Structure 1
Amino acid sequence: MENQQATQPVMQQQTPHSVLSSVFGYKQFRAGQEQVIDAVLAGQDCLVLMPTGGGKSLCYQVPALLLPGITIVVSPLISLMQDQVAQLKAQGVAAAYINNSQSREEQQLIYQGLHQGQIKILYVAPERLLTDDFSTRLQHLNIGLFAIDEAHCVSHWGHDFRPHYYRLGQLKQRFSHIPIMALTATADIATRNDIVMQLGLTNAHIYTGSFDRPNIRYTIEEKFKPLSQLMRFLKEQKGQSGIIYCSSRKRVDDIAEKLVDAGYNAASYHAGLENEQRTFVQNAFARDDIHIVVATVAFGMGINKPNVRFVIHYDIPKNIESYYQETGRAGRDGLSAEAIMYFDPADVPRVKRFFDDIPDEQRRKVEEQRFNAMASFAEAQTCRRQILLNYFSEYQGKPCGNCDICLNPPKQFDGTELAQKALSCVYRVEQKFGMGYVIEVLRGANTIRIRENQHDQLSTFGLGKDKSVEYWLSILRQLIHHGLLHQDITQSSSLRLTEAARPVLKGDFALQLAEPRLEVKHVYKDKLARFNYDKKLFAKLRGLRKELADAEDVPPYVVFSDATLAEMAQKMPTSDAEFLKVSGVGFTKLNKYGAYFMNAIRMHLTS
């Protein structure tokens, strides 16, 4: 079964830099890209760890155009393949994919193109790659490189393990002389080591890029009235693209419906929908026809849209890897983006109960440990980015200056008196009621239930009427976090005093609490401001881009990114030479689109 054909010498007429410039329109490589490309051109296996939006694709696309033969890219999702191929074709690269969305006739044409040397990059799912029929076809092709995207799916320790990926270790057994490049954005040390072992990478060049995404602002808001919090944020976004992740299909549908009723261009996405509907939503989102997608994690790795400006987690994710990967879908174009999570500490025990259903004890412990790290991240009072980067073993000594903790540090105050009121109230209602009821008593609510229980006669009734429900909710949560209270989930989450509450109640201990943040102000900024561009011209170029994209049935970003349009609106190129100096413009795009955009710029200059 082994393919004995060794990697041939690299063709000399082009260099990595010339391909980067002429094909992709970029003037210089990002950190790590050139080293990885040089290694694979020398026939070396590679493991590439770069953040989402860090430029992983170029690590195999550039050598694919320099190596003789075909590069096979293993990709997990049809939508991701389609996006990548559309972008490559727009840049003049002979790329194709084979998947179940195609007819048998279409697939036969692709196979014919492969055998005739007409295709340089082929995308394929792991399920198909490992079939006997496809494996036999590979024996007769001149293959220069295997690239395995989302390689963390190979590992049992990865947060998104997939059995078909696990079998990719067979590639080294069958094609021992062909280099393999494994790429991922999310892998802790255990997962990285497992990827190398499972794929049989030999003497691999390992590049671990920075996991930092400085353009993303991380914010965690205490969950009071999440729908109202969400609506307030969306009012400030002015039609920007975003994703809202929820923990259940029911919640996805409910929130999407409310957003549509409120006038937002939104749609839901989850595994319970028909495949045609999911495909429609994903394509419409990519084409800017839908601005907001409300989704479960089923809306996953296929998101290749560069201008997602915000990602919101309506519920806490199950691990930091998932959170990092999902937030990383914002700001792939390098422009500023928001990552917001609404967090209720009461969700922590609820999520933990899900792990009881995992039959494998070792796997269950790993998942519980990862969720504990996620919960600690959400509850932390220190720089969010430091915690994230430290989790991935990228230690940072200084706060980032672009997260909620850095921008608005928690203000401490002497909360002893407030704590005494709350703890006394819990005691006087005999520790039989949950947060909502305790807060009603504190605020002196005139309800039938309180009157029937005669709790309107308590000394603590109305003692906290000067504070809002949200304020007291934050205080009670902090008392739980400090270990003075705990919620008994076996008794309808009733609040119970702990032994640690005694000295606070007696006044023997001064308790410092954080001032509740009842409303987080999100400052809307022009994400393209650094270009100092002509906004009217940018709007015209954006409209032109949409027209061209719709005519070709491709997403607008396949034509040009927002950043490229902003640079055009800044530099206003009117000649081929000037147009080529804009980042993201290569020769193919100059020939294909240059005349349209330069004509629009000339008309704007003379209007």
Structure 2
Amino acid sequence: MDTSPISVLQHVFGYDDFRGPQKDVIDTLVSGQDCLVLMPTGGGKSLCYQIPALVREGTGIVISPLIALMQDQVNALRELGVRAGFLNSTLGFDQVRATEQALLAGEIDLLYIAPERLLQDRTLELLAQARLALFAIDEAHCVSQWGHDFRSDYLKLDILEQRFPAVPRIALTATADQRTRVDIQQRLGLTQSPAFISGFDRPNILYKIHPKQQPRKQLLAFLREEHPGQAGIVYCLSRKKVEQTAEWLVQQGFNALPYHAGLPADVRQNHQQRFLREDGVIMVATIAFGMGIDKPDVRFVVHLDLPKSIEAYYQETGRAGRDGEPSTAMLLYGFEDVVKLRQMMAQSQGSDEHQRYEQQRLNAMLGLCEITTCRRQALLRYFGEEHTEPCGHCDTCLEPVETWDATEAVRKALSCVYRTGQRFGANHIIDVLRGSDSEKLRRFGHDRLSTYGIGTELSANEWRSVLRQLVANGLLEVDPEGFGGLRLTEACRPVLRGDQTVALRKDLAKSRSAPKPKTGYTDDPLSQDGEVLFEALRQRRKELANENGIAPFMVFHDRTLRDMVRQHPRSLDDMRTVSGVGDSKLERYGEAFLSVLQAQAQEA
């Protein structure tokens, strides 16, 4: 077989042509140069090192931080006919020895290794004896102290440049702002190497952000009305909330599983396997679950708590729709999230500079939640990418936000915070404003303040919205050392003096399902008969996956099955033109899917 990059792409992976900067990245690596790649999830990052590893002589070493996923990554490659393996702590002595011998014999194309294992002297000595094609450092933002998922083992990966100077290196990530990008280049010795930065936009994802009102009710409506029977991830901040939410979803009739670092390893592995291999599973998880998830048909990602940064939010929402099909990212957030995250940051052992940076990133995340303009424009602007037109495919574009002149209410709230001593939380401030009959208020003498009872025109929820937006807009701050006490900032002075008006967004009484977009991303729907055939192909795929002990998407992605429906190939030669059908899969599965297509044609 021709071993040019385009031939490998077509015959091994089954795609006609490269996307975006893939060809330039691959050519750079094949020529022996190092490079940095920033490409959104689902943009085809893995091909940027997999194809050069197959084109160049020797084995490609992939440094991946999540041991639990290596087996599935390797299985997916083996389905393509690629000789792949991994080395990690899940293997027994004989398996390790066999993999090492295969490496030295040149019988492995791609070998996945966790960073902590790579750095062991024994592993470095093993690699020094092998013929190496390249090093791929996946999830490269882990190397940066400014990255949202810093890992100390990644700091030592500069040893690759020292010990293997002739082996090209590629560092890849989907999420890195300018500061993190520079840190990656400096720490990995890539400052003189080309950087390939793709657009961050994921046009198939519909972004929706709502204030928490009745979170479980909001989640239930979202799952039943917008994504019935589909696979997705629900992120929670605490392990306890993960378990409670998963249990509650099961009670509501959903196939939901918990996942967090506190669960036994065998339970985590079982739940992960079920999520990858079964249809319609909802994984309720902390952020311990997700990095490197290869499941392409995750149709939604829900955050039931506020992420601590836009980087984290982008990374986690990016696990939806890796196959390019329409998907949704919904975030529910509340004032209590801000308090909890501020307190967690205050307890951090990081330097003062690092803590300040974390606070800035949380403020940016809050700002994204509270904006009244296009979410996608703001999200992309954070990563340095300007889009001149609103996207037409986020909640604020589809349902323009109503605002109101909140100047008088804001002055009342700020005055109340000041007169109560700038040390009480939102609930206490609201009780004072609404004139609640409370023993706590009487104990502090707050029932005698001039601000007592001056805010009865707004409900408790409306005042909560006001205070939340004042924090997001920088007019109030949360005391991280205390118990969520509110304090005035310098920015509030013009408002209190009457020199500045304030418009705030109106929170809807309930979160409505967003209408179908009029612009932006649109999918090419199948006909009614096409959907019937698509389901028949999915059923055949599931049978084949079960027979081979692999996840269904490792046989073919949904997108490949939809292409089969549209093209309706009548022979194996015809099947070669279907996107995602390479030589190995054609030989292994071609006849099975042709028989389904032919049966449907005979019935028509």
Common fold, TM-score beyond 0.5?
A: yes
- Are 1:515 and 2:515 counterparts? no
- Are 1:76 and 2:76 counterparts? no
Query: Residue 47 of structure 1 aligns to a residue in which SS?
Result: strand
Pick the aligned partner of 1:363 from 346, 350, 354: 354
C-alpha separation between the residues in 1 aligned to 2:408 and 2:346? 39
**Distance change in 2, residues 1:479/1:16 (3 Å):** closer
Alpha-carbon shift at residue 32 of structure 1 (Å): 0.5
Alpha-carbon shift at residue 341 of structure 1 (Å): 1.2
Partner of 2:205: 216
Contact kept? 1:95, 1:121, Cα under 8 Å: yes
**Distance change in 2, residues 1:333/1:411 (3 Å):** same
Alpha-carbon shift at residue 191 of structure 1 (Å): 2.2
C-alpha separation between the residues in 2 aligned to 1:225 and 1:313? 14
C-alpha separation between the residues in 1 aligned to 2:470 and 2:188? 49
Partner of 1:572: 568
Partner of 1:107: 96
Query: Residue 339 of structure 1 aligns to a residue in which SS?
Result: strand
Alpha-carbon shift at residue 363 of structure 1 (Å): 2.5
Partner of 1:277: 267
- Are 1:128 and 2:124 counterparts? no
How many pairs are equivalent?
A: 594
Query: Residue 563 of structure 1 aligns to a residue in which SS?
Result: helix
C-alpha separation between the residues in 2 aligned to 1:427 and 1:416? 17
**Distance change in 2, residues 1:304/1:34 (3 Å):** same
Contact kept? 1:281, 1:290, Cα under 8 Å: no
Structure 1 stretch displaced more, 594-603 or 413-422: 413-422
C-alpha separation between the residues in 2 aligned to 1:76 and 1:290? 27
Amino acid at match of 1:246: C
**For each residue in 1:33-65, what CA deviation from the matched residue of structure 2 results, as whole angstroms up to 9, or x when unmatched?**
000111111111111111111111000111111
Pick the aligned partner of 1:330 from 320, 337, 341: 320
Partner of 2:524: 530
Partner of 1:9: none
Amino acid at match of 2:570: T
Contact kept? 1:70, 1:144, Cα under 8 Å: yes
**Distance change in 2, residues 1:87/1:417 (3 Å):** same
Partner of 1:182: 171
Query: Residue 338 of structure 1 aligns to a residue in which SS?
Result: strand
Partner of 1:600: 596
Partner of 1:259: 249
Contact kept? 1:538, 1:566, Cα under 8 Å: yes
Alpha-carbon shift at residue 248 of structure 1 (Å): 0.7
Query: Residue 13 of structure 2 aligns to a residue in which SS?
Result: coil
Partner of 2:283: 293
Partner of 1:49: 38
Partner of 1:6: none
Alpha-carbon shift at residue 211 of structure 1 (Å): 1.1
Alpha-carbon shift at residue 594 of structure 1 (Å): 0.9
Contact kept? 2:409, 2:455, Cα under 8 Å: no
Output the TM-score relative to the length of structure 1: 0.87
In the TM superposition, 1:161-172 aligns within 5 A as 161-172=150-161
Query: Residue 220 of structure 1 aligns to a residue in which SS?
Result: strand
**Distance change in 2, residues 1:197/1:418 (3 Å):** closer
- Are 1:377 and 2:368 counterparts? yes
Partner of 1:387: 378
C-alpha separation between the residues in 1 aligned to 2:536 and 2:364? 46
**For each residue in 1:474-516, what CA deviation from the matched residue of structure 2 results, as whole angstroms up to 9, or x when unmatched?**
3454466667877788886678999999999999987544332
Structure 1 stretch displaced more, 36-45 or 354-363: 354-363
Structure 1 residues not aligned, in runs of 5+ = 1-11
Amino acid at match of 2:524: R
Contact kept? 1:73, 1:148, Cα under 8 Å: yes
Query: Residue 237 of structure 2 aligns to a residue in which SS?
Result: coil
C-alpha separation between the residues in 1 aligned to 2:556 and 2:352? 49
Pick the aligned partner of 1:406 from 397, 400, 416: 397
Alpha-carbon shift at residue 141 of structure 1 (Å): 1.3
Sequence identity percentage: 48
C-alpha separation between the residues in 2 aligned to 1:384 and 1:549? 39
Alpha-carbon shift at residue 528 of structure 1 (Å): 9.1
Amino acid at match of 2:323: D
Alpha-carbon shift at residue 108 of structure 1 (Å): 1.6
Amino acid at match of 2:526: N
Alpha-carbon shift at residue 375 of structure 1 (Å): 2.3
Contact kept? 1:115, 1:141, Cα under 8 Å: yes
- Are 1:353 and 2:351 counterparts? no
**Distance change in 2, residues 1:396/1:463 (3 Å):** closer
C-alpha separation between the residues in 2 aligned to 1:145 and 1:485? 51
Amino acid at match of 1:113: A
**Distance change in 2, residues 1:32/1:506 (3 Å):** closer
Query: Residue 122 of structure 1 aligns to a residue in which SS?
Result: strand
**For each residue in 1:347-379, what CA deviation from the matched residue of structure 2 results, as whole angstroms up to 9, or x when unmatched?**
324312222222433332332232222222222
Structure 1 stretch displaced more, 150-159 or 444-453: 444-453
Contact kept? 1:445, 1:462, Cα under 8 Å: no
Contact kept? 1:335, 1:528, Cα under 8 Å: no
**Distance change in 2, residues 1:76/1:477 (3 Å):** closer
Structure 2 residues not aligned, in runs of 5+ = none
Partner of 2:536: 540
